[in-house]
């Protein structure tokens, strides 16, 4: 990317504004170059500008242009509308204009005409608008002192402006034990630098700033070494991970990651960066193999693992990646044990959504309840007219009072998927507790005749709706 100062110097509109401005007079050789040079190219800059002026262009020119721009005010209303084919050339861009606007300089009193496009640079709420004359003068004086310190320490303003941002140029996150010292030095250097620009300190601070910059270079070297030594480690925090967390406004996790520069089981669930998640696939697979389970797919965009927990059973579970890492991440990152990685715990944090898997769980529960004389599932399909999956309903028969209750199918499956790893006594006992805890205000109890009537009414309404 080309240096901004060079880009601005090559811009004809910018040069035209500077010729009529006051601040640029503090740089007479550059002003003379602008006045004499119709077209500015890299070759012309390299040939005609001194090394000192090149440093000013490279390091200070954007600030000079800003100060010059601050000098000008514009009226959004045209002062003249020319008749017929008459046109006047815009002082800045050279375009012929029918609508004539004017801008005036609050420093030297100059007044120049501009066109309907260029006037917008001086009338809208831009970065440069609203400066008083005193503020413009103060800025111009700061620029003069900036030029002096830049001659002693080339590029000083760019260094100070980018001090904190320079931490972000590395491919890995710089840990706080390096970052802290780097930022503290930057604060001290910035204070002294601005004291000099504001005439609160004299040239004697140049040496002090130079010492800070030497220490800065040592720390930059230390950061470069850290980056080279850690970039290939699997769980080092990469710049892309930090950028994702910044988009999520998750400063707390970034702060935690800076403590070591590495991801842990505590921070992993917060990270959604694609490469990090997809690189964990090998870990997910090897962990599941210890349970004789198989990872069918890592669905990054929906944030789930599609797992077949039993090789000999037609069951598919969806496990949120965030939950997997929250409860079982300690295995991957070799941290302190949090929750045991067992089939029961895996099922607990997973969902079952496809019909084939739901049907398998229902059949398994029904089989396990085969000997129960207290509670059963009621699976009548009403002559193939009732689809419990469409209505998401499950009927339970309480044999203790010969009453029936209808519950949400998916909620029931979520509560009883653990039947797959438990005994028939467990299933019967849990189902009895489940039924007894159902609120009678929310869940009506029916006789068989009432239940059938309820479902047949539902079937009739749905059939009628379909054929309307």
CB 415 within 8 A of CB 400: no
Antiparallel, parallel or unpaired: β 96-97 and 99-105: unpaired
Which H or E run contains 287? helix 281-289
101: left (phi over 0), alpha (psi -120 to 50) or beta: beta
Cα angle at 201 between 197 and 206, to 5 degrees?
80
Helix 12-19 to helix 51-70 angle (10° resolution) is: 80
For 192, phi then psi, to 5°, come to -65, -40
Question: Under 8 Å CB-to-CB from 144, ≥6 apart: which residues?
Answer: 26
| Number of alpha helices (DSSP H) and beta strands (DSSP E) in the chain | 21, 12
Rg (CA), the chain: 37
Task: List the chain pLDDT tens, one digit each, 468 residues.
Answer: 788 999 999 999 999 999 999 999 989 999 999 999 999 999 999 999 999 899 999 999 999 999 999 899 888 888 888 888 888 999 999 899 888 899 999 989 999 999 988 998 887 544 444 566 777 778 878 888 888 999 899 999 999 999 999 999 999 999 999 999 999 999 999 999 999 999 999 999 999 999 999 999 999 999 999 999 999 999 999 999 999 999 999 999 999 999 999 999 999 999 999 999 999 999 999 999 999 999 999 999 999 999 999 988 999 999 999 999 999 999 999 999 989 999 999 999 999 999 999 999 999 999 999 877 899 999 988 777 788 888 899 999 999 999 999 999 999 999 999 999 999 999 999 999 999 999 888 999 999 999 998 888 888 887 777 676
Q: Report the C-alpha gap between 320 and 318 in whole angstroms.
A: 7
Question: Under 8 Å CB-to-CB from 131, ≥6 apart: which residues?
Answer: 70, 139
Locate the domains of the chain by residue range. Answer: 4-139, 162-230, 271-348, 356-466
Question: Under 8 Å CB-to-CB from 20, ≥6 apart: which residues?
Answer: 91, 105, 110, 112
CB 400 within 8 A of CB 452: no
3-class SS at 377?
strand
Name which of 186, 189, 213, 216 is nearest 201 in CA terms.
189
Strand (E) positions, 234-287?
A: none
CB 333 within 8 A of CB 265: yes
């Amino acid at each position: 990317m080309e240096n901004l100062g060079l880009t601005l110097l090559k811009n004809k509109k910018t040069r035209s504004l500077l010729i009529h401005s006051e601040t640029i007079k503090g740089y007479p050789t550059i002003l003379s170059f602008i006045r004499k040079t119709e077209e500015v190219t890299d070759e012309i800059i390299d040939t005609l500008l001194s090394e000192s002026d090149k440093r000013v262009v490279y390091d200070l020119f954007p600030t000079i242009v800003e100060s010059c721009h601050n000098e000008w005010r514009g009226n959004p209303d045209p002062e003249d509308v020319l008749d017929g084919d008459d046109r006047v050339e815009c002082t800045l861009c050279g375009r012929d204009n029918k609508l004539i606007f004017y801008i005036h300089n609050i420093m030297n009193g100059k007044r120049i005409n501009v066109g309907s496009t260029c006037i917008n640079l001086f009338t809208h709420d831009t970065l440069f608008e609203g400066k008083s004359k005193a503020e413009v003068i103060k800025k111009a004086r700061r620029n003069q002192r900036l030029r002096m310190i830049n001659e002693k320490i080339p590029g000083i303003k760019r260094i100070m402006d980018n001090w904190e941002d320079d931490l972000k140029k590395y491919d890995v996150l710089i840990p706080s034990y390096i970052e802290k010292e780097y930022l503290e030095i930057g604060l001290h250097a910035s204070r002294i630098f601005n004291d000099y620009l504001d005439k609160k300190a004299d040239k004697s601070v140049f040496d002090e700033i130079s010492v800070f910059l030497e220490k800065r270079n040592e720390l930059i070297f230390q950061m470069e070494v850290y980056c080279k030594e850690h970039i290939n480690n699997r769980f080092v925090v990469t710049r892309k991970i930090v950028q994702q967390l910044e988009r999520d406004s998750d400063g707390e996790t970034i702060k935690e990651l800076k403590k070591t520069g590495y991801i842990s089981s505590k921070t992993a669930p917060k990270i959604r960066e694609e490469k990090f998640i997809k690189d964990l696939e090998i870990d997910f697979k090897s962990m599941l193999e210890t349970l004789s389970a198989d990872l069918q797919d890592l669905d990054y965009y929906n944030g789930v693992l599609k797992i077949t927990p039993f090789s000999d059973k037609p069951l598919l579970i969806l496990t949120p990646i965030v939950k997997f890492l929250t409860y079982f991440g300690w295995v991957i990152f070799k941290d302190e044990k949090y929750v045991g990685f067992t089939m029961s715990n895996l099922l607990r944090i997973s969902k079952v959504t496809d019909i084939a898997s739901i049907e398998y769980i229902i059949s398994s529960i029904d089989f396990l309840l085969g000997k129960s004389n207290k509670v059963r599932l009621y699976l009548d399909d009403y002559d193939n007219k009732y689809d419990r999956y469409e209505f998401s309903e499950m009927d339970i028969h309480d044999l203790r009072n010969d009453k029936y209750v209808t519950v949400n199918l998916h909620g029931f499956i979520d509560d009883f998927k653990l039947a797959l790893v438990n005994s028939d006594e467990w299933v019967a006992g849990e189902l009895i507790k489940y039924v007894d805890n159902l609120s009678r205000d929310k869940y009506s109890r029916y006789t068989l005749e009432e239940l059938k009537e309820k479902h047949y009414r539902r079937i009739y309404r749905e059939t009628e709706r379909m054929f309307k």
